[in-house]
Structure 1
Amino acid sequence: MGPKTEELICVLDQLVFVLQSDGDTHWSFWMHKARARLLASDFSGIAYLLSAYGGMGSLNDLILGQSYEDGVLFWKPGHVELNEKFIELRNRAEQLANAIKRSQA
């Protein structure tokens, strides 16, 4: 396993934590599944991870720190910092995955 893959696994760990801290189950499971594939040296983890990006309803559309009560949107305390961290990790994971994909081509 190369250093970029090791870094990607670390970033995915952090992404899972951030997503779970906001109560997300769908995307946190997705990141966990991609991580598990990479830990098993299964290159399909890269394609699986990258399939989360782009298009409607993708990981790129996710905004953390929101809740609804009686149909009214509320922002959780710290939502700005939470989203900044999430965007940083999301972007880094995509950059690393693309770099790994290019190196395998």
Structure 2
Amino acid sequence: MTELREIQALLDRMVDLLNLAAQPDWAGALERHREAIGTAPDITKARILAMYGGMGSLNDVVLYKNGQPLSRENNEFDELRIRLHELCRAT
């Protein structure tokens, strides 16, 4: 799998998890980046990395459903988030 395809796959799964947890704003933002990565990879990677800093960042996302944290999904989301960061920084 190429780097860009892996980034797209990571973003796809992250969007699925965010939709499961009813977080449409984050899901929409990552979906837009998934669509853009193929046409403007360098700019999109920089924009993805910018989502990781500061309060209210992608690092702060915790998945809940019906007021309960989704343990398994949060663990998976964290792994995906780490891998996405690694791939975007690798350039």
- Fold agreement, TM-score > 0.5: yes
Name the counterpart of 2:83.
92
After the TM superposition, which residues 37-56 of structure 1 pair with which residues of structure 2 at under 5 Å, given as runs? 37-56=36-55
CA–CA distance in 2 between the matches of 1:40 and 1:9?
A: 12
Q: Which sections of structure 1, spanning at least 5 residues, go unmatched?
A: 68-73
CA–CA distance in 1 between the matches of 2:86 and 2:25?
A: 21
- Change in Cα spacing, 1:53 to 1:11, as seen in structure 2 (3 Å) is same
The amino acid across from 1:98 in the alignment is R
For the pair 1:61 / 2:60, whether they are aligned, the reply is yes
For the pair 1:23 / 2:22, whether they are aligned, the reply is yes
Q: List structure 1 runs of 4+ shifted beyond 3 angstroms.
A: none
Instruction: Give the C-alpha shift of residue 43 in structure 1.
Output: 2.4
Instruction: Give the C-alpha shift of residue 46 in structure 1.
Output: 0.6
Indicate the structure (1 or 2) with the bigger Cα radius of gyration: 1
Kindly, what percent of the aligned residue pairs are identical?
30
Instruction: Give the C-alpha shift of residue 82 in structure 1.
Output: 1.2
Match for 2:68 among 72, 75, 93? 75
CA–CA distance in 2 between the matches of 1:42 and 1:88?
A: 22
> How many residues were matched structurally?
91
Tell me if the contact between 2:22 and 2:65 (Cα under 8 Å) persists in the aligned partners.
no
Tell me if the contact between 1:38 and 1:45 (Cα under 8 Å) persists in the aligned partners.
yes
